[in-house]
Structure 1
């Protein structure tokens, strides 16, 4: 006859699941579970750990907004930015982008005044802000492209489309930069930059009161490669040979220390560079995706950012990286 006090030797998935549900969902204590399954309390603890290790139980920490406020203050103190907008972590990339976009949209609506000029970049994150649904009091402000146009496949993420959407939201006006974002070579870029119409729009962008830009990371699977602006090899070589970790507003490429890197890609961009953003009184930079801590750290070190918008996990990683590199 089997000893009734003998503990089970087979920790099946069913047993692990039953114990996990009892503990995490039903609120049973380890002592209660011990009696119910006729196993020792120590065994219950080991099984609960095994359930976590095998992925049967996934624990997610839901940060309280007060926690975000503390992280925001740390970013302000560490990098000298005026504001930090830190969104709580979300289960997927799109949800995270929307969460960050909501914070930025609310911030813009609270700070932009009638008569202000806002220069706008390109990309998914900036587009998400323009398309965020919220209540905005109409005001007479102007939205100007800080970079040229992109391939039709990137329509919604085009600076011109984004400017028009912002103008619609605010009841203001928009100004297009009538040039491609990326020329085929340096000579073509210089020819475009000599055009009077293009010069006038870029001058307007340089004199803006507010700038809204995205921070890109350097990946062969990046948005820039996907649309054919640069080859995967150009991106990889810039990362490996010049230490490039990201791009600022789709234009200047920089390393982890925030230094601009002169790459073959930089010679082909038609728009404002990092140094041209610095005189703008309020530069808001967005990096929502969890693949961007290195790019975000490098961008913060450029000294061009006044307001940073990102997630809790990105912010904590950036703070830890900065501390480790000192």
Structure 2
């Protein structure tokens, strides 16, 4: 009985020391060295006591901030879709602001990610314009910006691939390589001949060897930019949908599993190919909103996405649409 009593006293003293150590560190804000001096133990002992206090449940660390839920969503996207990176932002109350805030998030990501000597491939569209407009100018030495899809008619203004490539290159003080060709040609044989031309082939080869690609996804809904600006007619869209298309990236269409849709349009399109994305280190896909979910899901299933930048509501919709376990179930496994 005596030995048991001594053991219990020793346990009580250890627990008391753990509690005192944890209180001084987490509540009073003392350094480990100050705690060591006050308790008469070594700094290494204090470090071990703090670790033990967490492991035994004496200390529970809870981070109370809305960013925690966003970080959790990022982790779920990375885990479920097996992508290297995800950036999730709060969904704005005003849906009209979604592209703007996504553009800012993507601009911030790009500013951190790009390194001297990198090559960035860029596409076109309203989301990409938002990114380009919100870049903070800074020089990235030896950076190349490459247009990865042919151009659209000049009357489309700032969403044209030429204009977006120029804006991005100007922001980073980069050299810009333009793809001087239309996005769509009249016949497949004309497209083949043009893409074989030395200058066009050189630009596309640089795009294939890019370190980063910045793109969005286009949906097949009436909200699609292609349809809004009338660049593709309804008959062409109907044919693509009949072939299973759920979305597009840089004018390359894909189905619900991410497989390229081999259409007549595809054979006369001047752009990088979807298959080229697999070898690129960082394919940054920026998109959000209910209309984009099917297209994003197809792109994720196709393995094209390396960094997904989206909003919280879209992130949850993607996980639900692909049958991901909910947060409670994930937390219990």
The TM tier, using the shorter chain, reads 0.7 to 0.9
Match in the other structure for 1:126:
128
Please, which runs of 5 or more residues in structure 1 have no aligned partner? 1-62
- Which residue number corresponds to residue 74 of structure 1? 76
1:182 and 1:229 in contact (8 A); partners too: no
Distance in 1, matches of 2:266 and 2:191, equals 10
* Alignment of 1:318 onto 2:308: no
In structure 2, do the counterparts of structure 1 residues 281 and 79 end up closer, same or farther at CA, with 3 Å as the change threshold?
A: same
Q: Which residue in the other structure is 1:153 paired with?
A: 155
**Secondary structure, counterpart of 2:296 in structure 1:** helix
The structure with the larger Rg is 2
Which stretch has the larger CA shift, 316-325 or 254-263?
Answer: 316-325
Cross-structure match for 1:165: 167
Note the aligned Cα RMSD (angstroms): 1.9
Partner of residue 64 from structure 1, selected from 61, 66, 70: 66
Match of 1:216 in 2: 218
Instruction: Go from structure 1 to structure 2 and tell me whether the alpha carbon gap of 1:226 and 1:109 turns closer, same or farther (over 3 Å shift).
Output: same
Structure with more helix by fraction? 2
Q: Summarize the alignment of residues 280-299 of structure 1 with structure 2, pairs less than 5 Å apart.
A: 280-299=280-299
1:242 is the counterpart of 2:243: yes
- 3-state SS of 2:309 partner: strand
Note the C-alpha offset of 1:170: 0.9
Moved over 4 A (4+): none
Give the TM-score taking structure 2 as reference length: 0.74
Matches of 2:229 and 2:323, distance apart in 1 = 36
* Separation in structure 1 between the aligned mates of residue 179 and residue 239 of structure 2, nearest angstrom: 30
Give the Cα separation in 1 of the matches to 2:100 and 2:142. 26
Contact 1:220–1:236 (CA<8 Å) still a contact in 2? no
Give the Å deviation of 1:117.
0.8
Q: Is the 1:84–1:307 Cα contact (8 Å) retained in structure 2?
A: yes
Report the equivalent of 2:262. Answer: 262
- Give the superposition deviation at 1:221: 4.7
Asked if structure 2 preserves the Cα contact closer than 8 Å seen for 1:86 and 1:100, the reply is no
* TM-score, structure 1 normalization: 0.76
Q: Answer yes or no: is the 8 Å Cα contact 1:120–1:163 preserved in 2.
A: yes
User: Which runs of 5 or more structure 2 residues have no equivalent in the other structure?
Assistant: 1-64, 326-333
* Maintained 8 Å contact 1:219/1:235: no
